[in-house]
Structure 1
Amino acid sequence: MGSDGEKPASPTLSDTGNHVSEAIPTLDRQEEKRLLLKLDAVFVPIIMLVYLSCFLDRTNIGNVKVAGMPEDIGASDVEFSTAVSIFYATYVAFESPWAILLKKLTPRVVLTGLCVVWSLTTIFSGFITDIGGLYAARLILGACEGGLFPGLNLYLTMVYKREEQARRVSYLFVCAALSGAFGGLLAYVLLKMDGIGGYAGWRWVYIIEGIFSILIGLLIWFGLPNDPTNAYFLNEREREMMQIRAKQRAQYMGSEEFSWEEIRIALKDFKLWISGAIQFCQDILLYGFSTFLPSIITSMGHSSIEAQYLTIPVYILGGACFLTLAFVSDHLCIRGPFIAFANVFGIIGYILIICPTSNAVKFFGTFLCAIAVYSGPGLNLTWLNVNVAPHYRRAASIGFQQTIGNTAGIVAGQIYRTSPYLLGNIFSVSALGLAQLLILIHWLYLRRCNLLKKQIASGKVQDKRRVKTGDWELDFKYHL
């Protein structure tokens, strides 16, 4: 039995969960692998570039902080921390609406529109003169970028099967890591433009990175089709295979019609809330580390310019480790234990940074932290992705889970205020400890649900479940 909870040649399941007589054709494994390679070759670079530009525009505030921006606009430490946090006020408010509207408004319109608006906002950020302008820019960025991550995740579920998703989601978080590495390198170069045209170097960081993002918006419009099963780059046989894959995923995708009932089911699902709690803990690291790593390194005695390029190997290691864990997670269809495993490195890393160790040891600790920073949020989101069905129940779950998790960004902006950032680092390692407990609870709950379904199917236990459709169908096996 495949990870979708269906046998490839078994009858399809209709949107209501009733069996129909038509048998689903099987696909040649090698032929399907070639199709996946082609899908990855087109979709993955576009998706990675758009998320790279998004995260770059979001976190470059950490690069400009050490380059004199607060002083130039007359912002105090408290006001600048507020500017970091205020981004997440609109970010979390707009995540669920954009996720639910994605299919109705079409992915191309939603994703391109959001990208263009946040890109223009980034460019205009290079011309702000006071803290009020920075607040306004961060609020607009949050409203637009809030729809991107849930939207891209939903788009991936329209293309790939459950057991194929972790490594594709990992590409997004690798981009978050690359944005840190690339952002540090780019900031290092752009800050040398200080004085050109009468503008400070930090202004050029915003202007150039915003122009880059505008170009990515055009790539989305022309590169991502609204219906991946009929993508422009597929031949007739490949489109036929995509239709077969869609039938194989029918139980997972479900009805194309919007349903408030599915939204209500999602909101009552324990999986959503426990996943959201884990995501909150993991995002404390993600937003604190990715935004303030240059400042953390500066607090170790390095100059602001050195801090920009010293972040690069840290981010690269974090991304590489996540790719590896995601690949193994997909292969084994196991999620929770890999999140917990990655978190162990983060706990050790933060302890090394917090304790009275040498700056060299503290810097080594940032590498360990990076393993947990990207692997934890990405694998946890995948864990929810593959365990919720059908589409609109999953859209609501992803949107609300991200809303819960991303409120951590508000916290991160407040706990990383002054060097040497002891409060922020202690808070982060405590969040990791709590996440480990929540991961265990989530894993035990899913194991219990799988056992209950098995007992009901065998007739050992009476079926008293209120919800019996989508991921609650008896032949839908949850990934642990």
Structure 2
Amino acid sequence: MATDTMATHAIMDEKVGPGSDAEATSTTAGTDLYIDPAAEKKLLLKLDAFFVPVIMLVYLSCFLDRTNIGNVKIAGMPQDIGATTQEFSTAVSIFYATYVAFEAPWAIMMKKLTPRVLLTTLCVVWSLTTIFSGFITNIAGLYVARLVLGACEGGLFPGLNLYLTMVYKREEQAKRVSYLFVCTALSGAFGGLLAYVLLKMDGVAGYAGWRWVYIIEGCASILIAFVVWFGLPSDPSNAYFLNEEERRIMRVRALQRAQYMGSEEFSWEEIFITLRDPKMYLSGAIQFMCDILLYGFSTFLPSIIKTMGYDSLQSQYMTIPVYVFGGLVFLLFAYFSDKWTLRAPFLFFANIFGIVGYILILCPTPNGVKFFGTFLCAIAVYNGPGLNLTWLNVNVAPHYRRAAAIGFQQTIGNTAGIVAGQIYRSSPYVLGNGFSVGALGVAQLLIIVKWLYIRRENSIKSKIAKGEIEDKRKVKTGDRELDFKYHL
């Protein structure tokens, strides 16, 4: 909040300088810049009510269309298209080849193309691809579908994250990013339930049940594309549902976030600054470790549960409480992370649950204990990637530097999807679960390193501001400004 207030005063100092004609209107301007806390709280509730359901719905659709390959795997798809175990694992992994390649470009281009056009177009294309996946007859068709799906879905998560930064302040973001990861959990829960229902359509119109999973989920996603077009205005500050006073408050909030948002003009210099920023690489490395869990767990949880002695249909619906629990715990962690503007401690604490959970699954424990372990894993699976991304979001400014950072961080992190497809090959998935607990251990070390680095950067800024040391920094804009305090 201190940073936002300083930014507002700095802007006003430029507009209302001593001796200027505007000085006489400074009192009025000060009044115009006032935001009643109750009115702002009401505005936030309204923004959440209109934007969050749309954002959650499209991301739910995206993740559902991506991870349903785990549901159709145990429903007989590999056998029907003549795919070997290795070929099917390759199909899971190949998605991330185009996914990671397109994340940074889509994120950087979003402002130019506008959020509405970009996100709606991507949604339509991946929805059609999902529908066509229901008519695949060989492994080559599955490869092509997964590559197209990856290219389109690669733009969604960075795009939605950037959209949130266009609406909310730094201290308001973990809670909103948590909504996206709750969708990841809901997609698992809903995907398991939906697959359970749709697989009962096996034989309808001569199609296998797994084909209906693709066809019906793809048709639902097409409808969601229309919701995106009408529900996400390219300029959130002038959204159709805001009245005049609310638009004024949005303008003041934009002034308060000016340091965080920066120029509207694209700058290659900001991209190059990002590429030299240790925060981005440390965040990307943490994300890579956390995403090994996210993609392995969300794609193969039905198969993991099946190894505990349950049949295919039971394995589908037993995933539901695990996903719901993981999502709810993330909401709780994100709330306190925003309240106290602390990121690393919550991230580190959540991963401890995951380590214990995977150990319970790996050890020769009763199946009930192993199933309990999946609940503990879910805490780390969703908190890890979500809180880590928020930690990057709030510590990089201005807009294009942040867009590049999110894009590159997601590119690094999502290559973990390639790994996940290869380590979860065959039952009882000892390699996959063992690799996941090892990844959590490495993530814990990286979190400590990043926390120490950011604390050091805050300390250097503080000493420069007090005149204790000479300022030898080459970059002094955006998040490198002395009054921009990094969240720890």
Q: TM-score scaled by structure 2?
A: 0.96
> What is the SS of the residue equivalent to 1:237?
helix
Structure 1 CA distance, aligned partners of 2:15 and 2:358? Answer: 52
> What is the SS of the residue equivalent to 2:318?
helix
- Residue in 2 that maps onto 1:277: 285
Structure 2 CA distance, aligned partners of 1:328 and 1:58? Answer: 30
> What is the SS of the residue equivalent to 2:167?
coil
Decide whether the 8 Å contact of 1:281 with 1:432 is kept in 2: yes
- 1:45 matches 2:37: no
Decide whether the 8 Å contact of 1:276 with 1:401 is kept in 2: yes
- Residue in 1 that maps onto 2:76: 68
Change beyond 3 A, Cα 1:268–1:19: farther
Structure 2 CA distance, aligned partners of 1:474 and 1:11? Answer: 13
> What is the SS of the residue equivalent to 1:12?
helix
Q: Which moved more, 1:4-13 or 1:376-385?
A: 4-13
- Residue in 1 that maps onto 2:20: none
- After the TM superposition, which residues 364-383 of structure 1 pair with which residues of structure 2 at under 5 Å, given as runs? 364-383=372-391
Amino acid at match of 2:309: G
Structure 1 CA distance, aligned partners of 2:15 and 2:390? Answer: 28
> What is the SS of the residue equivalent to 1:233?
coil
List per-residue Cα deviations over 1:77-128 (Å, max 9, x = no partner): 1000000000000000000000000000000000000000000000000000
Decide whether the 8 Å contact of 2:7 with 2:258 is kept in 1: no
Percent identity between matched residues is 75
> What is the SS of the residue equivalent to 1:402?
helix
- After the TM superposition, which residues 107-126 of structure 1 pair with which residues of structure 2 at under 5 Å, given as runs? 107-126=115-134
Q: 1:13 offset after TM fit, Å?
A: 8.0
Decide whether the 8 Å contact of 2:64 with 2:187 is kept in 1: yes
Q: Which runs of 5+ in 1 are unaligned?
A: none
2:352 aligned residue (336, 340, 344): 344
CA RMSD of aligned residues (A): 1.3
Change beyond 3 A, Cα 1:432–1:19: farther
Change beyond 3 A, Cα 1:337–1:20: farther
- Residue in 1 that maps onto 2:22: none
- Residue in 2 that maps onto 1:421: 429
Q: 1:299 offset after TM fit, Å?
A: 1.0
Q: 1:300 offset after TM fit, Å?
A: 1.0
1:175 aligned residue (166, 175, 183): 183
Q: Which moved more, 1:24-33 or 1:417-426?
A: 24-33
Structure 2 CA distance, aligned partners of 1:225 and 1:236? Answer: 17
Decide whether the 8 Å contact of 2:4 with 2:257 is kept in 1: no
Amino acid at match of 1:165: Q
Structure 1 CA distance, aligned partners of 2:38 and 2:10? Answer: 23
Decide whether the 8 Å contact of 1:166 with 1:327 is kept in 2: yes
- Residue in 1 that maps onto 2:269: 261
Decide whether the 8 Å contact of 1:95 with 1:403 is kept in 2: yes
Q: Which runs of 5+ in 2 are unaligned?
A: 18-25
- Residue in 1 that maps onto 2:470: 462
- 1:250 matches 2:249: no
Decide whether the 8 Å contact of 1:3 with 1:162 is kept in 2: no
Aligned residues: 476
Amino acid at match of 2:5: E
Structure 2 CA distance, aligned partners of 1:399 and 1:7? Answer: 28
Decide whether the 8 Å contact of 2:344 with 2:447 is kept in 1: yes
Decide whether the 8 Å contact of 2:4 with 2:256 is kept in 1: no
- Residue in 2 that maps onto 1:302: 310
- After the TM superposition, which residues 439-454 of structure 1 pair with which residues of structure 2 at under 5 Å, given as runs? 439-454=447-462
Structure 1 CA distance, aligned partners of 2:3 and 2:368? Answer: 47
- 1:196 matches 2:204: yes
Structure 2 CA distance, aligned partners of 1:264 and 1:169? Answer: 26
1:226 aligned residue (216, 234, 247): 234
List per-residue Cα deviations over 1:191-239 (Å, max 9, x = no partner): 0000001000000000010011001100000111000010011011111
Q: 1:464 offset after TM fit, Å?
A: 0.4
List per-residue Cα deviations over 1:319-375 (Å, max 9, x = no partner): 000000000000000001100000000000000001111111111100000000000
Structure 1 CA distance, aligned partners of 2:164 and 2:38? Answer: 21
Amino acid at match of 1:164: E
Q: TM-score scaled by structure 1?
A: 0.98
Relative to its length, the structure with more helix (as a share) is 2
Q: 1:10 offset after TM fit, Å?
A: 2.4
Decide whether the 8 Å contact of 1:389 with 1:471 is kept in 2: yes
Structure 2 CA distance, aligned partners of 1:6 and 1:383? Answer: 21
Structure 1 CA distance, aligned partners of 2:128 and 2:481? Answer: 46
Decide whether the 8 Å contact of 1:13 with 1:251 is kept in 2: no
Change beyond 3 A, Cα 1:357–1:223: same
Q: Which runs of 4 or more aligned residues in structure 1 lie more than 4 Å from their structure 2 counterparts after TM superposition? A: 18-24
Q: 1:183 offset after TM fit, Å?
A: 0.2
Decide whether the 8 Å contact of 1:125 with 1:134 is kept in 2: yes
1:479 aligned residue (473, 479, 487): 487
- 1:397 matches 2:405: yes
Amino acid at match of 2:106: W
Structure 2 CA distance, aligned partners of 1:19 and 1:340? Answer: 44
Change beyond 3 A, Cα 1:391–1:362: same
- Residue in 1 that maps onto 2:148: 140
Structure 1 CA distance, aligned partners of 2:252 and 2:420? Answer: 45
